[in-house]
Amino acid sequence: MKRGRVVTIGESLVAFIPNAHTKLRYVQQFSKVVAGAESNVAVGLSKLGHLSSWISKVGTDEFGQYIIRELRAEGVDTSHVLVSDEGPSGIMFKQFSANLASQVFYYRKGSAASTLKVSDLDWEYLKEAKVLHLSGITPALSTSCRDVVYELFRFAKQEGILISFDPNIRRKLWSEAEAKRTLSPLLVQADIVLMGEDEGELLLGSGDRYRIAATLLEKGAKAIGIKRGGEGAYVADATAGFDVPIHPVKVVDTIGAGDAFNAGFLAGVLEGCPIKECGRMGSLMGALAVSSYGDTEGLPDRKTFDELMKNEKEIDR
């Protein structure tokens, strides 16, 4: 299998998972895991046997060391993560209601990652990437982070590195107007686009998956995965488009599903799979993510993944 390094850049946080399905005021105990859109993708790719790197800034605190340790343990290259005293590592709390719906509360304002700037990056190292995976969360963190993302797009185009982009709009971080103004120009430059239908409505003026795909292909995108939640996904490239059904699983935590889809889809792209196969790989990874607590804890190793891909029966978790 031909391997190419995927480099992801963005903030990861320590996520506290409550041990009870009730309001946080009544919760007495938590477990902690690492959460972050870009590092989730890096972990998923690493589990599937691909080289992946995560670049960011963490604080000079125990949480920063925890994030680095956990990602390194999953096989992700963290050698270019900066440890900085410019701010703390970000944290977040999940809250589950009785019907399993989850909410997220962020404590990331002024975090170390939000101080990431263009001069922090090792541009020679980045030249080794085959794919640069970025999300729309990073430019929402600060002006310097926005500058980093814009420069990464310019650099990738110059160096012939594929850009994978997930708008991943976080309305708790900025307004829809600001998100549209910042992300729309990036979306149409990406080679691989991974997004939701609702994001298409905001950024492209249409929530119709076929129209979103047609618009992006017209702009030069090479591979597109449109995530549709419980409806599955729609994937397309210049040759064809397919609706991909979801894998039936027992859902316990929906957060992280989109990142897992991205990892499976990108693994397919790296392996030269047809676009429909990329979609099936993404769909399976997304299903495994929602059937366990935490963003990446339910993701499989390659052997298990290949077995599940061959067996389309219900995944019994």
Point out the residues that are catalytic: 259
**Gyration radius from the chain CA atoms:** 18
Type of residue numbered 130: K
**CB-based contacts of 310, cutoff 8 Å, min separation 6:** none
> CA 41, CA 6: separation in Å to the nearest integer?
9
For the record, the structure tokens of 184 come out as 């729309």
The Cα–Cα gap between 159 and 295 comes to: 32
